[in-house]
């Protein structure tokens, strides 16, 4: 036990004093011992009880907030799936609280003995530390494994997760190539598997990020072999209905999914069935976003035009906000034919012409540099910041006070445009 406590302390999962409580609700007899009537347990199952508790846990983890209709619907479905299994895909705009869904579902499972840890698969390795930090601030126990974590530290994480002391375990898709990791999740099955940014399976899977495609194939194979099928939760802001159905087929579902359209006045009720996947969809953009279109010249003339546009936003923000972030999106980290559209060229020009902090962010930066930029933005170290970025800034970056975004070049697709535009106004505030 002493070794376990030392491992917990080193991972930052406990303080000086630890109280260990094991709570396993296994069937109606245990429910009776916990104070629930057998009639209630038989009629509703554990899932019926969990649906009610999910809202209580939401208010505990997100004090002062009420779940929106998408969060409440997803938690209701997941409460049933924690008992029966199944797959749920949630498509909601950026800033609408998709992360809160699996935060609450994870605590719901672990606190009721339905399972131990929730496995979160994310393609955003550079942001995992921030995601773990934000989860721990909510009172969750979280850890991550990536290539920077030594074998010894990985074993400690596995041991702590095995004993039920982790709510959330974050990994990248590449971890599924590791036989030791696959063996661990086969032996110590998670209570829930989350595929964050699940649209990457079809948009990157066959070319840029084949590891995510391997995750889906591995999970599909495991679900065929396993009697207990941990529920799967896929999250995206941009996934089309066709792509969602394709991913569910890849996960081994032969039945057509039940689709819950949250844009309707009264979304239909859906019964949970492990063999019938469910897709929850809402409108792709939040109500607080507004858009203006400006015709601008190409080449370096556009760069001069951009300086004046950003100058106007800087003036506007300084008159309204104590602290703010603005983003200029461009399609190129480094292009020889369109030098005027390169991140570093744009950032240098803005620095030379404007009295404001300007940062550069793109996929070619090393991890430590990207982390420094993220820490400056999320840690409140700078009150006024302009970020020049590629689409690498469009996924998973959680900065609530982004007040404007300029698209210097067109996004690669309408889905990516939604993703990138959704970086702004995540706190629900008005935009500049």
Dihedral angle over CA of 65, 70, 73, 77, nearest 10: -110
Same domain, 381 and 248: no
Tell me if residue 407 falls in helix, strand or coil.
Answer: strand
Predicted confidence (pLDDT) per residue in 249-270, tens digit: 999 899 999 999 887 766 667 7
Same domain, 130 and 15: yes
User: Mean pLDDT of all residues in the chain?
Assistant: 80
pLDDT of residue 346: 96
Same domain, 212 and 346: no
Task: Give, as one character, the DSSP assignment of residue 63.
Answer: T
- Residue 426 located in a structural domain: no
pLDDT of residue 310: 95
- Residue 290 located in a structural domain: no
Predicted confidence (pLDDT) per residue in 95-123, tens digit: 778 999 999 999 999 888 777 899 999 98
- The span from the CA of 420 to the CA of 232, in Å, is 26
CB atoms within 10 A of CB 160: 22
Going by C-alpha positions, the residue among 117, 53, 120, 119 that lies closest to residue 80 is 53
What's the average model confidence in pLDDT over 25-33? 31
Which of 248, 281, 314 is the last residue before a domain boundary? 281
Going by C-alpha positions, the residue among 289, 266, 253 that lies closest to residue 89 is 253
What's the average model confidence in pLDDT over 215-237? 83
Phi-psi region of 164 (alpha: psi -120 to 50; beta: other; left: phi over 0): left
Same domain, 192 and 256: yes
Which of 220, 253, 281 is the last residue before a domain boundary? 281
Structurally, the chain folds into a number of domains equal to: 2
Contact partners, residue 176, CB within 8 Å, separation at least 6 = 121, 182, 211, 214, 215, 218
Same domain, 306 and 275: no
Range of the domain at 351: 300-421
* Angle value at C-alpha 78, between 122 and 123, nearest 5 degrees: 5
Same domain, 241 and 319: no
- State residue 352 phi and psi, 5-degree precision: -70, -25
Quickly tell me which residue has 């990248």 as its tokens: 172
pLDDT confidence of 34, banded at 50, 70, 90?
very low
Between these two residues, 7 and 134, which has the higher pLDDT value? 134
| Residue 221: both structure tokens together | 């194979």
CATH at 76: 3.40.50.300
Number of H helices, E strands in the chain: 15, 12
- Residue 398 located in a structural domain: yes
| Residue 227: both structure tokens together | 């009697």
Same domain, 63 and 138: yes
- The span from the CA of 46 to the CA of 79, in Å, is 8
pLDDT of residue 130: 79
Same domain, 19 and 88: yes
Q: Which residues, in sequence order, are bridge partners of residue 143? A: 169
- Residue 213 located in a structural domain: yes
Q: Are 146 and 121 in contact (CB under 8 A)?
A: no
- The span from the CA of 421 to the CA of 191, in Å, is 33
Tell me if residue 384 falls in helix, strand or coil.
Answer: strand
Same domain, 257 and 308: no
Same domain, 251 and 317: no
Same domain, 34 and 164: yes
Q: Are 67 and 99 in contact (CB under 8 A)?
A: no
- Residue 120 located in a structural domain: yes
pLDDT of residue 113: 77
Going by C-alpha positions, the residue among 220, 214, 242 that lies closest to residue 232 is 220
Tell me if residue 21 falls in helix, strand or coil.
Answer: coil
Which of 281, 314, 334 is the last residue before a domain boundary? 281
| Residue 28: both structure tokens together | 């109606």
pLDDT of residue 206: 54
- The span from the CA of 95 to the CA of 93, in Å, is 6
Same domain, 276 and 339: no
- Residue 85 located in a structural domain: yes
- Residue 286 located in a structural domain: no
Predicted confidence (pLDDT) per residue in 44-103, tens digit: 444 566 778 888 899 999 988 889 889 999 999 999 898 888 999 999 887 778 999 999
- Residue 429 located in a structural domain: no
What's the average model confidence in pLDDT over 402-431? 72
Q: Are 141 and 167 in contact (CB under 8 A)?
A: yes
Q: Are 289 and 431 in contact (CB under 8 A)?
A: yes
Q: Are 360 and 344 in contact (CB under 8 A)?
A: yes
Entry pTM: 0.71
Task: Give, as one character, the DSSP assignment of residue 143.
Answer: E
Predicted confidence (pLDDT) per residue in 147-163, tens digit: 889 999 999 999 999 88
Predicted confidence (pLDDT) per residue in 345-389, tens digit: 999 999 999 999 999 988 778 777 877 787 777 766 678 999 998
| Residue 239: both structure tokens together | 């996934």
């Amino acid at each position: 036990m002493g070794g376990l406590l030392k491992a917990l302390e080193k991972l930052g999962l406990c303080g000086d004093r630890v109280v260990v409580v094991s709570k396993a609700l296994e069937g109606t007899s245990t429910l009776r011992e916990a104070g629930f009537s057998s009639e209630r347990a038989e009629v509703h199952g554990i899932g019926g009880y969990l649906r009610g508790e999910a809202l209580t846990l939401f208010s505990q983890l997100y004090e002062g907030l009420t779940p929106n209709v998408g969060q409440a619907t997803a938690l209701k479905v997941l409460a049933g799936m924690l008992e029966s299994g199944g797959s749920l895909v949630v498509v909601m705009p950026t800033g609408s609280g998709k992360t809160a869904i699996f935060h609450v579902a994870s605590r719901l499972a672990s606190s009721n003995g339905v399972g131990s840890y929730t496995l979160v698969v994310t393609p955003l390795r550079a942001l995992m530390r921030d995601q773990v930090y934000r989860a721990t601030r909510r009172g969750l126990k979280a850890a991550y494994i990536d290539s920077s974590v030594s074998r010894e530290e990985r074993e400690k994480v596995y041991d702590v997760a095995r004993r039920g002391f982790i709510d959330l375990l974050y990994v990248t898709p590449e971890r599924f190539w590791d036989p030791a990791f696959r063996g661990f999740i086969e032996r110590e099955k998670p209570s829930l598997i989350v595929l964050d940014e699940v649209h990457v399976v079809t948009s990157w899977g066959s070319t840029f990020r084949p590891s995510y495609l391997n995750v889906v194939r591995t999970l599909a194979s495991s679900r065929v072999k396993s009697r207990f099928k941990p529920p799967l939760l896929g999250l995206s802001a941009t996934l089309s209905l066709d792509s969602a159905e394709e991913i569910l087929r890849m996960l081994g579902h032969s039945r057509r999914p039940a689709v819950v359209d949250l844009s309707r006045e009264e979304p239909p009720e859906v019964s949970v069935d492990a063999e019938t996947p469910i897709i929850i969809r809402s409108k792709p953009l939040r109500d607080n976003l507004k858009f203006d279109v400006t015709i601008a010249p190409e080449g370096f003339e556009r760069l001069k035009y951009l300086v004046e546009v950003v100058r106007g936003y800087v003036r506007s923000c300084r008159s309204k906000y104590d602290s703010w972030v603005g983003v200029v999106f461009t399609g190129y980290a480094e292009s020889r034919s369109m030098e005027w559209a390169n991140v570093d060229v744009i950032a240098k020009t803005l620095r030379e012409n404007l009295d404001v902090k300007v940062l550069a962010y793109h996929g070619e930066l090393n991890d430590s540099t990207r982390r420094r930029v993220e820490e400056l933005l999320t840690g409140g170290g700078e009150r006024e910041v302009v970020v020049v970025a590629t689409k690498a800034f469009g996924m998973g970056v959680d900065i609530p006070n982004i007040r404007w975004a300029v698209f210097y070049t067109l996004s690669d697709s309408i889905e990516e445009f939604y993703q990138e535009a959704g970086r702004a106004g995540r706190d629900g505030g008005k935009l500049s």
